[in-house]
Chain A
Amino acid sequence: MSAIAMRNQEAAPADIKMRAAGVDVSYGDKQALFAVNVAIETNTVTALIGPSGCGKSTFLRCLNRMNDVIEGCRVSGQITLDGVDVHDRAIDVVELRARVGMVFQKPNPFPKSVYENVAYGPRIHGLANSRAELDDIVHSSLRRAGLIDEVRDRLDEPGTGLSGGQQQRLCIARAIAVEPEVILMDEPCSALDPIATAKVEELIDDLRERYTIVIVTHSMQQAARVSQRTAFFHLGEVVEQGETGQIFTKPVDERTQAYITGRIG
């Protein structure tokens, strides 16, 4: 069986990790998202694609309530994580962001050592009881991020001294050090060269076994390469979502077709 066939088979009885239902988002009096419904399957990479300003990054930030900190931003509708509303009073937003981690467009390591970049999260969340446990978390996170062999002897050097691709994988190591369940990635490769991009894409594919991943990308080829499911956003609406192979070979909606084939929609 081919890798793709296996992938499709695994996806068969979909286990929903996060679900957005009727989500509207406004910045002041400008509405950015309209009644968005998206189901995010467990251990699946979901790609969000669409032209600039279509609302895909806004939607991504809703998933771990990053929009809370933006002045004048209003979110309504329901977003659930394992069936629990993320806006529920019982939900602690700091804990939510530990469970739903984030990696940004530009690698943004702290101005600290490689070690401290990864150790920071586990330390503030109290995940390690001893230096030895913290060492373990740092090493395993760097290993899972595919970076350990490159930084083993440089753990005390500044994280900002690494190459761009290494910095981005350091940020991924930092995100997974707090044992998240979902990782949100906002154009994680747009500042990277093709080789560094390939390494991050390979990493995303590995991470899928343990985590649920949602990635915003401007590169449709990247969406096609790394994701199993794709949602197409246009003017604040989800026009079409489905299995990635179907979206890129026979999209149902004409707007999806126009966008992915590079036509004027």
Chain B
Amino acid sequence: METDHIVKSFDEELAKLDNMIAEMGGLAEVQLADAVGALVRRDVELANRIIEKDRRIDAIENELHSFTIRLLALRQPMADDLRIIVAALKISSNLERVGDYAKNIAKRTFVLAKGPPLGGTAQSIARMAALVQVMIKNVLDAYIQRDAAKAADVRARDEEVDQVYNSLFRELLTYMMEDPRNITAATHLLFVAKNVERIGDHVTGIAEQIHFMVTGDLPGDARPKGDTTSFTVLDPATTERPES
């Protein structure tokens, strides 16, 4: 419903909720971009700033939590108003986790910057992160525009991210088998890749909340899952050297 509430201050409060989600989402998107940028350029200074900036995301999440509780108590919202407020509460938790994963990537940059780069893995991670950044941007647009179709599109894209992660997983395992001195860097890069993949999952979760917010139901079909690394076995005898 596009019409305004009779009580105008309630509309202002709902608009404030949207602004908080937009600000959190914007920050999380930049944090991911910066974290991967710092990783590729081995920029320890930037990594430090990212860790510092995560506090702002946490602060908005706390503020949003108190604000939604206040809205529930004082406005006793119903129907789409209720769904918007509950969805915003859950989306803020997803965005906070996105921020945490970006911060964790920044932390690992300190160790990784001390050793030589491991082939082109950092660049591959950056390409994967670029896909996820587009997903974040689109999911925020879908939230603001109350667009369930756009949210469904974001949700479908997560499979592509999972596939890139699968190939990175195999690539990193191969580096480790090739030379045990690669293990430290490869393990950290594996976590970094996993963090980016998890961010994609959180964005998918946000897309599902948007579907709920708009339609009143969660998406009926099973979430597309492409991460097969839990079942992956690499045999050293048949493994080829990774190209880089």
Of B1-9, B55-63, B133-141, the one contacting chain A is B1-9
What's the interface size class on B, roughly? 10 to 19
Complex CA–CA separation, A249 to B1 (angstroms): 14
Is there contact, CB below 8 Å, between B216 and A249? yes
Is there contact, CB below 8 Å, between B1 and A262? no
Secondary structure dominating the interface of B: loop
Of B75-83, B154-162, B180-188, B232-240, the one contacting chain A is B75-83
**A220 nearest in chain B by CB position:** B78
Complex CA–CA separation, A224 to B82 (angstroms): 14
B47 to chain A, nearest CB (A): 44
Tell whether A258 is near chain B: CB-to-CB under 8 Å. Answer: yes
Residues on A with C-beta less than 8 A from B82 are 248-249
Is there contact, CB below 8 Å, between A262 and B6? yes
Interface string of A243-265 (1 = CB under 8 A from B): 00000111100101110111111
Is there contact, CB below 8 Å, between B83 and A261? no
Residues on A with C-beta less than 8 A from B77 are 261
Is there contact, CB below 8 Å, between A261 and B1? yes
Tell whether B10 is near chain A: CB-to-CB under 8 Å. Answer: yes
Residues on A with C-beta less than 8 A from B76 are 221
A189 to chain B, nearest CB (A): 16
Is there contact, CB below 8 Å, between B79 and A264? no
Is there contact, CB below 8 Å, between A260 and B5? no
- Knowing A250-B83, A251-B79, the reply to whether A257 touches B1 (Cβ < 8 A) is yes
Is there contact, CB below 8 Å, between B78 and A261? yes
Is there contact, CB below 8 Å, between B83 and A263? no
Complex CA–CA separation, A248 to B78 (angstroms): 6
Residues on A with C-beta less than 8 A from B80 are 257, 261
Residues on B with C-beta less than 8 A from A256 are 79
Query: What total of chain A residues lie within 8 Å of the partner, measured CB to CB?
Result: 17
Residues on A with C-beta less than 8 A from B217 are 250
Q: Which of B10, B83, B215, B216 contacts A262 (CB 8 A)?
A: B10
Residues on B with C-beta less than 8 A from A250 are 79, 83, 215-217
- Knowing A249-B78, A249-B83, the reply to whether A254 touches B10 (Cβ < 8 A) is no
B1-40, CB < 8 A from A: 1, 3-7, 10
- Knowing A249-B78, A262-B7, the reply to whether A254 touches B1 (Cβ < 8 A) is yes
B65-90, CB < 8 A from A: 76-83
Residues on A with C-beta less than 8 A from B79 are 248-251, 256-257, 260-261
Most chain B CB within 10 A, of A221, A250, A254, A260, is at A250
Residues on B with C-beta less than 8 A from A221 are 76
A226 to chain B, nearest CB (A): 15
Residues on A with C-beta less than 8 A from B6 are 262-264
Complex CA–CA separation, A257 to B76 (angstroms): 14
- Knowing A221-B76, A249-B78, the reply to whether A263 touches B4 (Cβ < 8 A) is yes
B132 to chain A, nearest CB (A): 31
Interface string of A208-249 (1 = CB under 8 A from B): 000000000000110010000000000000000000000011
Complex CA–CA separation, A264 to B4 (angstroms): 7
Is there contact, CB below 8 Å, between B3 and A258? yes
Residues on B with C-beta less than 8 A from A260 are 78-79
B103 to chain A, nearest CB (A): 36
Residues on A with C-beta less than 8 A from B3 are 258, 263-265
Residues on B with C-beta less than 8 A from A258 are 1, 3
Residues on B with C-beta less than 8 A from A265 are 3
Complex CA–CA separation, A264 to B10 (angstroms): 13
Is there contact, CB below 8 Å, between A261 and B5? yes
Can you report 19 residue pairs joining A to B where beta carbons are below 8 Å apart?
A221-B76, A224-B78, A248-B78, A249-B78, A249-B83, A250-B79, A250-B215, A250-B216, A251-B79, A256-B79, A257-B79, A257-B80, A258-B1, A260-B78, A261-B1, A261-B5, A261-B78, A261-B79, A262-B6
What are the nearest 10 A-B pairs in CB distance? A250-B216, A260-B78, A263-B3, A261-B81, A248-B78, A257-B79, A261-B79, A263-B5, A262-B5, A262-B6
Given contacts A257-B79, A261-B5, 11 further A-B contacts (CB under 8 A): A248-B78, A248-B82, A250-B83, A257-B1, A257-B80, A261-B79, A262-B7, A262-B10, A263-B1, A263-B5, A264-B6
